[in-house]
Amino acid sequence: MLIEVVLAITIFGAVGTAVVLGVRTAHISASLVEDHSIAERLARNQMESVFNQAYKPAESQPVAYDTLAEANACGSSTGYSICAVALELQASDSYEGTVERVVVTVSVEGRAVLVLETLRAN
């Protein structure tokens, strides 16, 4: 009888530990998904904002674009920050305009969560 009780307590302890670890993992992954979804929204809005701004000729590389006010508001309270820069590329064909690679980086508490890149032609 004593062995059965000890065995039952051991089994319940193992199951309880597994449940607690599962809940902890779910909580951590939910936090990461939330950070990534907010970062994706901010990056898309920032990219749209860059495309709405006037083209800035490259006096020095890289060219910095104005960041969103909503990112600055997020940055002050939750640790989100945005950096939007553009590097001018040399076209290898007969294209007469300029092409730049726009890179938007969203960071949370100092670590980069999302980097979004695209090309922009003038």
pLDDT of residue 72: 52
| pLDDT computed for residue 21 by the predictor | 93
- Percent of the chain whose pLDDT exceeds 90: 21
**What's the average model confidence in pLDDT over 18-24?**
92
Predicted local confidence at residue 69, as pLDDT: 61
Mean pLDDT (the chain, rounded) = 82
> What tens digit of pLDDT does each residue of 26-44 get?
888 888 888 888 889 989 9
pLDDT in tens, 56-80: 776 766 777 777 765 554 444 467 8
Q: pTM of the predicted model, to two decimals?
A: 0.67
H helix or E strand, kind and range, residue 111: strand 111-121
What integer is the mean pLDDT of 15-30? Answer: 90
Residue holding tokens 């040399």? 90
pLDDT higher for 67 or 23? 23
Per-residue confidence (pLDDT) for residue 11, from 0 to 100: 94
H or E stretch including 53? none
